[in-house]
Amino acid sequence: MFKLKFALSHFLHQRKAINRHRLHSPFVYRLVDEVIYDFSNKKVYAEIEKESQGSKKLDATDKLLYRLINDAKPATLWIAGRHQRTDSSIIQRAAQTVLIKKIDNAADWRDTIAPDVIFLDTQLNPQSTMDYFNKLLPRIHADTLLIVKNINENMLTKTSWNIMQSHAKVTVSVNLFWLGLFYFRPGKVKEDFLIKF
């Protein structure tokens, strides 16, 4: 039953979602055109798979995670809560010279350096997603990118996504079904995008 609901949710997303040709935001158009829809085969994908000793072949979402982080060129990156080993490998390859900080307990929040990119998996942190989000808000800056994984996994993750999306500090949200992106740019008109992926 759950698989059927998930498939229906994906079908409805694809029907409502738009592609780059219907975008009027130059910022999001560039992101979609140059990053999200870059389906070229990169050597680094095979290298990541080799490092994981063939335990998992990278899917389209894994490859997109790499491209998003690589494109953002962060100086600091935070991983909030539990995450998959593959995601950790992808993040480390996408941001090799970056300060990567794992936020798991109270002591981890003492860092005063604002993160440029934050990664959060809602499926692995279902009960603490909103707690992480609310604690992260005071740490963000105008160019922070929050990448949220598994936003349509179940009703709890969907609800968390909707609540985060409606927050006043979020000026741009990009719903890619498998991943969600939040940008926090003061003074910008709030825009929410449903993008085919």
Q: What is the pLDDT of residue 2?
A: 55
Q: What is the pLDDT of residue 116?
A: 97
The Cα 165–Cα 191 span in angstroms is 10
107-145 burial by CB neighbour count: b if 16+ within 10 A, else e?
eeeeeeebbbbbbbbbbbbbebbbebbeebbebbeeebb
What amino acid occupies position 64? L
Give this prediction's pTM.
Answer: 0.93
Q: Put the strands of the sheet holding 172-175 in their side by side order.
A: 99-103, 76-80, 117-121, 145-149, 179-183, 172-175, 191-194
Q: What is the pLDDT of residue 190?
A: 94
Q: Flag residues of the chain having pLDDT under 70.
A: 1-2, 54-55
Pick the CATH number of 2-194 from 3.90.1260.10, 3.40.30.10, 3.30.930.10, 3.40.50.150: 3.40.50.150
Task: Convert the pLDDT of each residue in 13-49 to its tens digit.
Answer: 888 888 877 888 899 999 999 999 999 999 999 999 9
- Cα–Cα distances (Å) from 2 to 31, 123, 148, in that order, read 32, 15, 21
User: If you search the block for the tokens 């005071």, which residue do you land on?
Assistant: 138
- Cα–Cα distances (Å) from 157 to 8, 122, 124, 173, in that order, read 16, 6, 10, 15
Neighbouring residues of 194: CB distance < 8 A, sequence distance ≥ 6: 13, 16, 17, 18, 175
Q: What is the pLDDT of residue 47?
A: 92
Q: What is the pLDDT of residue 179?
A: 97
Q: What is the pLDDT of residue 145?
A: 98
Angle 27-67-13 (CA atoms, 0-180°, nearest 5)? 70
